[in-house]
């Protein structure tokens, strides 16, 4: 170990939403934490234009995630005028199937809250920077990770070395940290892209989210934004995604309105469209020697249920709770603690992967008889209140 090495309890590689939330939670629990990232860590949301500058990328934050974010001081700093509650959700199949969920019926204030990526990132950066015991090293260029007796070392280009009891990979689906640890995991592409854009709508959404499983195998979601605005995620086959991105603003608005049956009247694009590739990732392990993976570095799910970032916040909350309550086991990288984390997250992650991947595969089959069966199944589930509540609880918490 070099003479200028820094001794910490935890080093987190990746300052995305999940990495920042974990860093703040661990530091609040009394651990000495360093978070490192290749990019800069902005201290505030980007300035908005005259129209309000709505971010194309939004997240549906579950009540459980909101509670966790509040505990680290981030949720309460979000601008309330930029958040929209989902008070009802209407899911429709490709041949008359339908399931609806109501926050009121489930005893919740909202099924989820729609928050822009930019605003959530700014709130988490503020929470991280305001927490004692937390150092941010960014931008930096990680060169290697080395494991030795009792610690792990993050080596940066330029010669600096930071050592800690535990390394956490929070650096996304193509995780460099995971590769350094030798954990094999290649994302399986769905052959789809998530096309995102925001629109002004003719009729008010009344806090209702809409989702359609379309006959071409794509999934279209309309998510409420404040006022008469929506954000869409169209999980589309690659060819269709390319067509959507090539449309001008009026053409795209018309295409989205038709796909949604003109549910909210005429649409007007207020942001350009963007797209990101969709993939599935299941790893043989999410922990190793003095290593833990969180967020997209640990798992990948289809966005049709909007649960990717919530799974990541669940990882962060679980790992922070386990390390914060480690008692006489003072070593934050002890194998017993990491195994406890892996066990706690295995069930929720597997359940969400089975549901989302299974639904994508089910609705991708074009067979007429299977289309009839799956839509009848949706109607049957929609008529059973207890079953709907059982389906909703994992997503809420």
Residue-wise pLDDT tens digits, 47-101: 554 456 899 999 999 999 999 999 999 999 999 999 999 999 999 988 888 889 8
Return d(Cα 329, Cα 240) in angstroms, integer. 53
Residue 106 has pLDDT above 90, yes or no: no
What percentage of residues in the chain have a pLDDT greater than 70? 92
Q: Residue 87 — φ and ψ, nearest 5°?
A: -95, -15
**286-313 pLDDT tens trace:** 999 999 999 999 999 998 878 899 999 9
Q: What is the pLDDT of residue 107?
A: 87
- In this prediction the pTM is 0.93
Give the residue-averaged pLDDT of 375-380: 76
One DSSP character per residue, 340-383 reads HHHHHHHHHHHHHHHHHHHHHHHHH---HHHHHHHHHHHHHHHT
Exposed (0-12), middle (13-18) or buried (19+): which is 34, by Cβ within 10 Å? buried
Give the residue-averaged pLDDT of 257-269: 97
Return d(Cα 242, Cα 234) in angstroms, integer. 12
Please list, residue by residue across 157-178, b when 16 or more beta carbons sit within 10 angstroms of its beta carbon and e when fewer do. eeeebbbbbbbbbbbbbebbbb
- Go through the domains of the chain in sequence order and give each one's CATH number: 6-43+125-187+281-362 (3.50.50.60), 90-116+189-278+366-396 (3.30.9.10)
């Amino acid at each position: 170990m070099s003479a200028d090495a820094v001794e910490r309890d935890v080093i987190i590689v990746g300052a995305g939403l999940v990495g920042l939330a974990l860093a703040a939670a661990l530091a609040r629990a009394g651990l000495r934490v360093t978070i490192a990232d290749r990019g800069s860590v902005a201290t505030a949301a980007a300035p908005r234009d005259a129209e309000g500058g709505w971010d194309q990328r939004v997240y549906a934050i579950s009540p459980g995630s909101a509670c966790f974010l509040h505990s680290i001081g981030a949720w309460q700093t979000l601008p309330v005028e930029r958040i929209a509650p989902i008070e009802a959700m209407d899911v429709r199949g490709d041949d008359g199937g339908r399931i609806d969920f109501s926050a009121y019926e489930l005893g919740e204030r909202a099924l989820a809250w729609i928050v822009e990526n930019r605003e959530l990132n700014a709130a988490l950066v503020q929470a991280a920077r305001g927490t004692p015991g937390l150092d941010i090293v960014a931008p930096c260029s990680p060169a290697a990770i080395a494991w030795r007796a009792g610690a792990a070392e993050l080596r940066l280009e330029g010669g600096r070395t930071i050592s800690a009891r535990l390394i956490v990979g929070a650096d996304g689906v193509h995780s460099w940290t995971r590769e350094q640890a030798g954990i094999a995991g290649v994302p399986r592409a769905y052959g789809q892209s998530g096309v995102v854009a925001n629109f002004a709508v003719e009729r008010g959404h009344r806090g209702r989210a809409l989702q359609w499983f379309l006959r071409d195998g794509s999934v279209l979601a309309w998510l409420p934004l404040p006022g008469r605005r929506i954000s869409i995620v169209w999980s589309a086959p690659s060819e269709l995604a390319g067509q959507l991105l090539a449309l001008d603003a009026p053409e795209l608005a018309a295409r989205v309105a038709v796909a949604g049956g003109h549910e909210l009247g005429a649409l007007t694009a207020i942001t350009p469209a963007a797209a990101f590739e969709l993939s599935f990732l299941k790893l043989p392990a999410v922990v190793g020697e003095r290593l833990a993976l969180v967020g997209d570095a640990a798992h990948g799910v289809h966005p049709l249920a909007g649960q990717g970032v919530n799974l990541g916040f669940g990882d962060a909350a679980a790992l922070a709770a386990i390390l914060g309550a480690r008692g006489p086991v003072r070593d934050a990288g002890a194998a017993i603690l990491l195994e406890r984390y892996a066990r706690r997250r295995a069930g929720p992650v597997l359940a969400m992967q089975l549901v989302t991947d299974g639904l994508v595969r089910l609705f991708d089959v074009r067979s007429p008889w299977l289309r009839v069966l799956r839509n009848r199944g949706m109607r049957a589930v929609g008529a059973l209140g207890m079953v709907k509540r059982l389906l909703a609880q994992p997503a809420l918490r």
